[in-house]
Amino acid sequence: MKKQEHFPAGEKVNAVVYAHPNEYASFPQIVRTDEELVLLFQVQDLEKLRAIPEHQHYQMVAQARWAVSRNGGRTWAVRETCPPLGPVRDITYSSAPLKDGGTVTLTFHTEEPLQAVIQRGRVSYRPYLKLELAPGESAHTIRELGPFARFWPHGMKRLSDGTILAAGYAPFRSPSGRDKTTAVFPASSDEGRTWSDRSHVENANAFDFSEPDLLETRGGRIIALLRAD
């Protein structure tokens, strides 16, 4: 298969990937493989959305969509099912690439336990949507979260030493009795199958920490960007 083209350095082109007057599109995730760029996102019918009491953030009527580009993002073809994908080299938002070109994604559905979903050849699960596995895919329940009973994933990176480090936030009860959240960082050293609590931020502030993301510098230092609520 022909490898994807790339823009010349410094060139900027605006391209509309998807637009529909009767739909709310949200929560994009970018996937880069050897052959294509894929934008996995969700759409919600506005008429159905107005008819339910839940906030649109909870995506009760969401449907997944896949936009595929083979020319570096210049043009996109939107699909209702995931196309077969080449080995994944990079992926954003609560997911990370595996050594064999697959992906691991941490779930976000509040009615199900936290799970690590491992897929190869496609990306088809997003937080909030019901978990559906294809043949050869697996889901591993995560139970070792240290002092935290709940975890909402947000960022994830594959580090230079092969460790997969996730970033998310979790609720806890402060010494004053107030319910708060803080940033939590679980890690996996076996390609996403098992996870353990690596670190968390001691939050004694009057505000919450949430939605962290990660960056590893060339020197191996880990930097986390947090949202303060």
Parent domain of 172? 144-229
CA dihedral 221→210→124→165, nearest 10 degrees, is 20
Q: What digits encode the pLDDT tens for the residues 82-141?
A: 999 999 999 998 999 999 999 999 987 767 788 999 999 999 876 666 677 888 899 999
CA distance 44 to 83: 21
Lowest mean pLDDT among 17-26, 90-99, 171-180: 171-180
In a domain, 60, yes or no: no
Confidence at residue 13, expressed as pLDDT on a 0 to 100 scale: 81
Q: For residue 57, what pLDDT band results from cuts at 50, 70 and 90?
A: confident
* Mean pLDDT along residues 26-53: 92
* Cβ contact 98:160 at 8 Å: no
For position 108, what pLDDT does the model report?
Answer: 77
Query: Does the residue 45 lie in any domain?
Result: no
Q: What is the number of domains present in the chain?
A: 1
The string of pLDDT tens digits covering residues 205-226 is 999 999 999 999 999 999 999 9
Instruction: Judge whether 196 lies within some domain.
Output: yes
* CA distances from residue 153 to 40, 67, 159, 182 in whole angstroms, order as listed: 17, 24, 17, 12
Asked if residue 2 has pLDDT above 70, the reply is no
Is it the case that residue 1 has pLDDT exceeding 60?
no
The reply to whether 195 falls in a domain is yes
